[in-house]
Amino acid sequence: MRNQYDVIVVGAGHAGCEAALVSARLGCDTLLLSIYLDTVAHMPCSPSVGGIGKGHLVKEIDALGGEMAKVTDKTAIQFRLLNTKKGPAVRGTRTQNDKVRYRTNMKHHLERQEHLSLKQSLVELLVVEDEHVVGVVDQMGVFFQARAVVLATGTFLNGLIHIGSRQIPSGRAGEFPSTALAKQLCDLGFAPGRMKTGTPARLARNSIDFSRFNEQQGDLQPKPFSLFTDAITLPQISCFMGRTNERTHELVRRNIGLSPLYNGSIRGVSARYCPSLEDKIMKFPHKEFHQIILEPEGLDTEEIYASGTGNSLPYELQYELIRSIAGLESAEIMRSAYAIEYDYIQPTQLTATLETKLVKGLFLAGQVNGTSGYEEAAAQGMWAGINAALKVQQRPPFVLDRSEAYMGVMIDDLVTKGTNEPYRMFTSRAEYRLLLREDNADLRLLEKGYQLGLHDAATYRELVERRKAIRSELERLQRTCVRPSGEVNALLQERNSAPLGEPASLAKLLKRPELSYTDIEALEGSASALAERVKQQVEVECKYQGYLRRQEAEAKKFKQMEQMEIPDGFCFDEIPGLSNEIKQKLRSIRPSSLGQASRIPGVTPAAVAALMVYVRRFRDRGNVQKIKVA
Amino acid sequence: MDFELTDDTISAIATPIGQGGIGIVKISGTEALSIAKRIFRPRKSVHAYETHKLYHGWIVEPETQEVVDEVLLSYMAGPRTYTREDMVEINCHSGFMVLNRIMEFVLQSGARLAEPGEFTRRAFLNGRIDLSQAEAVADLIHSRSQQSLLAAARHLSGDFRSQIDELRDKLWQLQSEIEAFIDFGNDLDEGEANIESVKLLLTMEESLIRPLGQILACYETGRLLREGLTLVLVGKPNVGKSSLLNVLLGKDRAIVTSMPGTTRDIIEDSFRLSGVLIRILDTAGIRMKPDSIESMGIQRTLSAVAEADIILWLMDQSQPLSEEDDQVFQAVSGKSYMILLNKCDLPPRLSVEDIRTRYDRAVPVLRISVFNRGDIEGLQNFLRDRFLATPLAENRSALIPNMRQKECCERSLEALQRGRKLLQTGSYNELVSLEIETARKHLNAVLGLEVDQDLLDGIFSRFCIGK
């Protein structure tokens, strides 16, 4: 039996799959271990991928050479572009997916991937020698040797499901938790935190009266996530929107003592942006109703995900609750809602590559780092997988900064600030939001993926040509002027746009929020032969004109602070005048740059100024010593 | 500015030399106490110096043990000090020789002479004070009048900070409202998923743009109070300008003779009116055929007039108007000036009507005799009412930004105005949000919550030694 690998990935959820695939693609012999092979790439909560901010992550994974976007496109049964009334930077793609198809499709990719082995195994022990991880031991006592290990254990560490007063130790509904591993991480010195998340009930389709719901269709012309998807193949379905009512709320209020969230049984922290129904009703007592959405779990199943009804109340009460909703009067619950508590590792214990500071070669990715969401997990998996492989190959680490990608924003937030509630990606977390769009993920990151070795030369060549085409079309639009004629102004008025008084460049016209590139084609009287992606970029560039340059200038300034490195071995205690609290923070985070130091909560600008002085001095002194040695 | 070597021990004389009876030498840094011990002989022997206590004794020459001065010495252990470092203050007699010798001993014993502003810079770097407080210290030191002292003291106490904080809070609320709409518009239930641009516009206008405008208006007042007003005396020779100068200053500053053209260059001095510094410039009289030295003086008169806040044109009631007066008029016309009709004790050969007919129908004219105390008080009251009443009233309610803070406030205001325009033209929410963010960043910079090196250099180079 073979038991020597370069990289071992523990856990085959969304983080583990990306980590294993990318590690293998970078040429490392990779082993992916899953507790149960039938739930590889499972979506244990909503049947949907993407959203505002999250969609950005999916596109970035794709641009770097990951898998999530491709599998999503192949298994999506509804596409919607969100925030279309807002500007291009904050638009996000979201899909509904067929869960079974998603996981079988992803599993098949894993099985066929060169350098990758997929095995069913419950890991119980990390083997650590001299603060370096050297492998793992599973439940059957098998030792797998590795030079780097990625832990992507999701909610499995000390997972505990709550349904009313029932408590069931589980990683997910119906699956074993990881208790031995959780204990070992504590023994190794990791400080765990506890979080809570939950999922709503799944209802039987034939027990629902859909006439009481509003149908929500997908986009008529679905735009895929992946650059490499040519066509959407699966049939497209609708979701259905309904509401809770006073009866529902009264039920929850009357029985709130039975909710483990409210009677003290659950101590884990839940996310404010993804509240359970109990929380919605108790914390916002003046709201007359809350929205619920019925989402099909797939094409070959009658299970319907009742989004917005997540709770941890006793099973019988869940029935009453669901049936108080118009259209669900005789609904049958196929799977009950539940809350789950689990351990996570405060991510400030990680470096920017997601490697732990305590154990070299050990990387953590996904929900174990205190995040929520498939997309956040997948992005971290990709990041940790790349860095684990690079470490094994003794290549320099791969890190994107906050001005380059949502991934960079998320990782920096996690390792610098940590998180006390499940971390979700929002666009407002990104300071350089206008630069980091779904539509330009390829322009930002494809080249980096290519340099890593994750794209072929033809893909890269296309990117170079696309860039050229965008530039020249932009120049043409700036050069080309339209004169105010009756014809032109009639067309503008038709689009609710102010008529022209004097000649204007096409670029200037395209800047108007109400006009699109199609209108420019109409003004010119001919359809452009350019690729859709080129047209789209040109349009965005014009819309944000001025603002993009401003953000680029800010990003440049930001990078200067990032490039002021704090050398390894720099002693923060040497700086007089810093409070003990600040020193302690700097010691534990060990920021790699002044920029990162300035983002640590509680580190004041004055402290950063002092740090700047001493880092400079430390470096100069270091140089002097080097000269002496020479 | 050089930010290097900030943890050695520094020292400086903290009081102006030669003024007042007490001089203070400050020492700050890890070596402060050991340096002090080398040069201080306590009256009663001290086993261990306790922090925040005064010790009576003598400063002695470290080598010869020769007594130099009787002093009170205080030792304050960090971090409960101005710089957060260990500090020693030596209260001695303020004679030039004494202070300098003590300073010399301190430096010989291992301290370094502090750079301008270094004590405050350390206080800032060590987190003792924030940037706006650091600037207030600079303003305190630089302030030349009581009124501007008052404004600086308010900054130091943080009143200004809380006003800016309030605006930052409002910006933050506004931004989070927009951000919620951007990120969660799809998660929100119907009805919630709308931000009303009308409401946003109103909040922007009422709670942000207007108050910021008011802060900026205070800047003019502040400048006036900080830097004082410039008063320029003009008029043809021998009308009594130098006499008026001496009376206003309360001392004999200018040489007064009856020979026309005695004042060939500009004499500059200052006095206080209601606590505000008035810089007074007495100019060369303007004559028909001046000699060459005097003509240079006239050039300077013209440039003095250009920078004046107050122009007083002195005339002699005992002489009729002449071509020389016409020349003065050329120098001041287009400016706001007033006429003082001097020598009212002599027989009149010039009337107010004559002046107004010839030059300006609306010009204010005040009759005085510079030797009459009542007339001078009348003049002072007149100046106070006309030039100081409004700024002084504003100063009581207002918190006055300095120039850097004003610029930050201006940039913040500009961003808000751009944001307002975006809202009015129905542009994208994320752009509105960006402008609000920009406005907030500039306000952060006012308080030094966003710092860059240039800014620190600029501020700390304004400090004089010792604070």
CATH label of the domain that carries residue A586: 1.10.150.570
Helices A457-479 and A532-543 pack at an angle, to 10 degrees, of: 50
- Boundary (domain end) residue, out of A311, A339, A367: A339
- What CATH number has the domain spanning B156-225+400-448? 1.20.120.430
Report chain A residues whose CB lies below 8 A from the CB of B451. Answer: 605-606, 608-609
- Residue-level pLDDT at B412: 94
Cα separation, B311 vs B304, whole angstroms? 10
- How long is chain B? 467
A172 with A63, same domain? yes
Cα separation, A34 vs A178, whole angstroms? 12
- What CATH number has the domain spanning B228-370? 3.40.50.300
Q: Average model confidence (pLDDT) for chain A? A: 93
Asked if B228 and B277 count as a contact pair (C-beta separation under 8 A), the reply is: yes
Cα separation, B75 vs B31, whole angstroms? 12
Instruction: Collect all residues from A whose CB is shorter than 8 A from any CB in B.
Output: 51-53, 82-83, 86-87, 89-90, 243, 273, 287, 289-291, 426-428, 433-434, 513, 543-544, 547, 550-551, 576-579, 582, 604-610, 612-613, 616-617
Residue B311, SS3? strand
pLDDT above 70 for B20:
no
Asked if A249 and A86 count as a contact pair (C-beta separation under 8 A), the reply is: no
Give tens-digit pLDDT for A546-597. Answer: 899 999 988 988 888 888 889 888 888 877 667 788 889 999 999 999 899 9
Report chain A residues whose CB lies below 8 A from the CB of B187. Answer: 273
A334 with A346, same domain? no
Asked if A305 and A47 count as a contact pair (C-beta separation under 8 A), the reply is: yes
A209 belongs to a structural domain:
yes
Percent of chain A with pLDDT over 90: 80
Asked if the Cβ–Cβ distance from A83 to B190 is below 8 Å, we say: no
Q: How far is A279 from chain B (nearest CA, A)?
A: 15
- The pLDDT of A178-182, averaged and rounded, is 92
Asked if B126 and A577 count as a contact pair (C-beta separation under 8 A), the reply is: yes
Question: To which residue do tokens 């709130």 refer?
Answer: A256
Asked if the Cβ–Cβ distance from B127 to A607 is below 8 Å, we say: yes
Cα separation, A137 vs A124, whole angstroms? 6
Asked if the Cβ–Cβ distance from B127 to A617 is below 8 Å, we say: no
Q: Average model confidence (pLDDT) for chain B? A: 78
Asked if A146 and A133 count as a contact pair (C-beta separation under 8 A), the reply is: yes
pLDDT band, residue B218 (cuts 50/70/90): confident
Q: How far is B432 from chain A (nearest CA, A)?
A: 11
Asked if the Cβ–Cβ distance from A428 to B426 is below 8 Å, we say: no
- Residue-level pLDDT at B216: 83
pLDDT band, residue A627 (cuts 50/70/90): very low
Asked if the Cβ–Cβ distance from A83 to B131 is below 8 Å, we say: no
Give tens-digit pLDDT for A223-232. Answer: 999 999 999 9
pLDDT above 80 for B135:
no
Report chain B residues whose CB lies below 8 A from the CB of A243. Answer: 189
pLDDT above 70 for B190:
no
Q: How far is A339 from chain B (nearest CA, A)?
A: 20
A493 belongs to a structural domain:
yes
Give tens-digit pLDDT for B281-299. Answer: 887 665 545 555 556 666 7
Tell me the helix, strand and coil percentages in chain A, rounded to 5: 40, 20, 40
User: Which residues belong to CATH 3.30.1360.120 in chain B?
Assistant: 10-130
Least confident of A538-547, B429-438, B450-459: B450-459
For the record, the structure tokens of B365 come out as 């004219």
Asked if the Cβ–Cβ distance from B30 to A608 is below 8 Å, we say: no
- Boundary (domain end) residue, out of A432, A450, A468: A450
Q: How far is A434 from chain B (nearest CA, A)?
A: 8
Q: How far is A34 from chain B (nearest CA, A)?
A: 33
A138 with A28, same domain? yes
- List C-alpha distances in Å: B313 to B288, B336, B346, B363: 17, 11, 18, 11
B115 touches chain A (CB under 8 A): no
Q: Per DSSP, what are the bridge partners of residue B56?
A: B72
A498 with A399, same domain? no
Q: How many CA atoms lie within 13 A of B94 on its CB side?
A: 11
pLDDT above 70 for B82:
yes
A37 with A186, same domain? yes
pLDDT above 60 for A412:
yes
- The pLDDT of A323-329, averaged and rounded, is 97
Asked if the Cβ–Cβ distance from A273 to B84 is below 8 Å, we say: no
Give tens-digit pLDDT for A63-88. Answer: 999 999 999 999 999 999 999 888 99
pLDDT band, residue B326 (cuts 50/70/90): confident
Its domain, for residue A64, covers 7-195+342-450
Question: To which residue do tokens 């309904």 refer?
Answer: A242
Choose from B126, B414, B449 for mutation: most chain A CBs within 10 A.
B126
Asked if the Cβ–Cβ distance from B127 to A289 is below 8 Å, we say: no
For the record, the structure tokens of B96 come out as 């030039």
Report chain B residues whose CB lies below 8 A from the CB of A273. Answer: 184, 187
Q: Compute chain B's Rg from CA coordinates.
A: 29
A183 with A44, same domain? yes
Q: Rounded to the nearest 5 degrees, what angle is found at the Cα of A337, between the Cα atoms of A331 and A338?
A: 165
* Chain-centroid distance, C-alpha B111: 31
- Boundary (domain end) residue, out of A550, A576, A608: A550
- Residue-level pLDDT at B134: 66
Q: How many C-beta neighbours within 10 Å does residue A198 have?
A: 25
pLDDT above 60 for B153:
no
- List C-alpha distances in Å: A10 to A19, A135, A393, B250, B455: 10, 11, 20, 89, 50
CATH number at residue A491: 1.10.10.1800
A247 with A308, same domain? yes
Closest Cα partner for A295 from A237, A249, A212, A366? A237
Closest Cα partner for A439 from A548, A333, A364? A548
Q: Per DSSP, what are the bridge partners of residue A10?
A: A33, A151
Residue B45, SS3? coil
- The pLDDT of B143-149, averaged and rounded, is 55
CATH number 1.10.3720.10 is the correct assignment for the domain at B10-130: no
User: Which residues belong to CATH 3.40.50.300 in chain B?
Assistant: 228-370
Strand A123-129 with A132-138, pairing: antiparallel
Give tens-digit pLDDT for B383-413. Answer: 888 887 776 666 555 456 666 677 788 899 9
Partner residue facing A52 (CB), from B186, B189, B448: B186
Give tens-digit pLDDT for A42-64. Answer: 999 999 999 999 999 999 999 99
- Residue-level pLDDT at B12: 86
Q: Which residue of B has its CA nearest to A86?
A: B428
A542 with A575, same domain? no
A555 belongs to a structural domain:
no
Give tens-digit pLDDT for A347-405. Answer: 999 999 999 999 999 999 999 999 999 999 999 999 999 999 999 999 999 999 999 99
CATH number at residue A210: 2.40.30.260
Asked if B308 and B300 count as a contact pair (C-beta separation under 8 A), the reply is: no
Provide DSSP, B238-284: TSSHHHHHHHHHTS--S---SSTT---S-EEEEEEETTEEEEEEEPP
Cα separation, A73 vs B258, whole angstroms? 101
Closest Cα partner for B177 from B207, B214, B212? B207
3-state secondary structure B43-104: CCCCCCCCCCEEEEEEEECCCCCCEEEEEEEEEECCCCCCCCCCEEEEEEECCHHHHHHHHH
A67 with A28, same domain? yes
- Residue-level pLDDT at B460: 53
- The pLDDT of A190-214, averaged and rounded, is 95
Asked if the Cβ–Cβ distance from B427 to A616 is below 8 Å, we say: no
B182 touches chain A (CB under 8 A): yes
Percent of chain B with pLDDT over 90: 17
A160 belongs to a structural domain:
yes
Asked if B338 and B364 count as a contact pair (C-beta separation under 8 A), the reply is: yes
Cα separation, B35 vs B8, whole angstroms? 12
- Residue-level pLDDT at A625: 44
Task: Provide the domain count of chain A.
Answer: 4
Cα separation, A25 vs A19, whole angstroms? 10
A557 belongs to a structural domain:
no
Instruction: Indicate the pTM of the whole model.
Output: 0.77
